[in-house]
Amino acid sequence: MPVRTTIVVGASRGLGHGIALAFAAAGDSVVAVSRTPADFPGSVKSELANAGDATVPARLLDRYEPDVVVLVAGASPHMRPLQEQTWETFSVNWETDVRVTFGWLREILLKPLRPGSKVIVVSSGAALAGSPLSGGYAGAKATQRFITSYAQDEASRAGLEITFTAILPRFAPETGVGQPAVRAYAARAGQTLEEFLQQVGPPVTPELAGSELVELTGAADISPAYVLTGSGLQQLP
């Protein structure tokens, strides 16, 4: 079987790093996109770029012609109650997460990627439950899920045979977005970090995200959206 090419956008740290490593371990040719360099085994090609720049999606999609694209890149929200946000802090995830998703999905449809390609967008469990201490984060992550479904609809209408799916992870307390979030929500609940994490249940880790997404891309049938908990993926209606 020919080697698949997988682009992971937002792969220098956290969940994206674990996802890039897992696809490489599965034998894919992996392109890891981030603004800062990261440690990777020799088989992973690192591309230093701001994924939200207007010309980056077309340039990288044309250069690598990927079979799989995983959009993980996201900003760390400003963990403060609503009244302590400014519009600039409130909107950081719109300017990064939503901008990156919009730019890449648009370009994937315009190009288009070849039939059979798979596109995974990492949204958040906050899109279902809200996130009162992180400004516009939950709304931005919900918008990522919406535009993933819009992209699927456009692809289906045009007969492109590209599959789009959104992943909504629960807390990954060791990574850049998760760590400040679990601390802030523990403090607000008047709990220690340990008490809060115990109540949250088994954590999502970069390794788990990686193995679950590799398995998902091998599945015959992929649903429009999944929640990712420490126990794995659960399909959303």
CB of residue 215 to ligand NAP, shortest distance in Å: 18
Q: In angstroms, rounded to a whole number, what is the distance separating the alpha carbons of residues 111 and 197?
A: 43
* 226 belongs to the binding site for ligand NAP (CB under 6 A): no
Query: Which stretch of DSSP H or E encloses residue 3?
Result: none
CB 124 within 8 A of CB 138: yes
Nearest in space to 127 (alpha carbons), one of 59, 225, 19, 207: 225
Q: How far is CA 222 from the centre of its chain?
A: 16
Q: Is 232 in the site for ligand NAP (CB under 6 A)?
A: no
Contacts of 108 (CB under 8 A, 6+ apart): 57, 61, 69, 117, 119, 151, 162
CB of 124 to ligand NAP, least distance (A): 3
Buried b (16+ CB within 10 A) or exposed e, 70-99: bbbbbbbbbbeeeeebeeeebbbbbebbbb
Q: Which of 19, 22, 98, 122 binds ligand NAP (CB under 6 A)?
A: 122
CA proximity to 18, closest of 147, 124, 176, 182: 176
Q: Which part of the chain contacts ligand NAP (CB under 6 A), choosing from 110-118, 145-153, 175-183, 218-226?
A: 175-183
Please report whether residue 230 would count as binding ligand NAP according to CB under 6 A.
Answer: no
Does residue 36 interact with ligand NAP by CB under 6 A? yes
Is residue 19 involved in binding ligand NAP (CB under 6 A)? no
- Kindly tell me which of 16 and 160 has the beta carbon lying closer to ligand NAP: 16
Minimal distance, residue 159 CB to ligand NAP, in Å: 30
- Report 92-111 residues binding ligand NAP (CB under 6 A): 96-97, 100
Which of residues 142 and 160 has its CB atom nearest to ligand NAP in the complex?
Answer: 142
Rounded to 10 deg, the angle between the 193-200 and 178-188 helix axes is 110
Residue count at the site for ligand NAP (CB under 6 A)?
32
Q: Which two tokens stand for residue 56?
A: 């980056």
Of 112, 119, 121, the closest CA to residue 159 belongs to: 112
32 binds ligand NAP (CB under 6 A): no
- The C-alpha atoms of residue 56 and residue 104 are separated, in whole angstroms, by 9
83 near ligand NAP (CB under 6 A): no
Which of 8, 20, 73, 160 touches ligand NAP (CB under 6 A)?
A: 73
Report if residue 8 touches ligand NAP, rule: CB under 6 A. Answer: no
Point out which span in 72-80, 111-119, 149-157, 193-201 binds ligand NAP (CB under 6 A): 72-80
Site residues (vs ligand NAP, CB under 6 A): 10-16, 33-36, 50-52, 72-74, 76, 96-97, 100, 122, 124-125, 169, 171-172, 175-178, 181
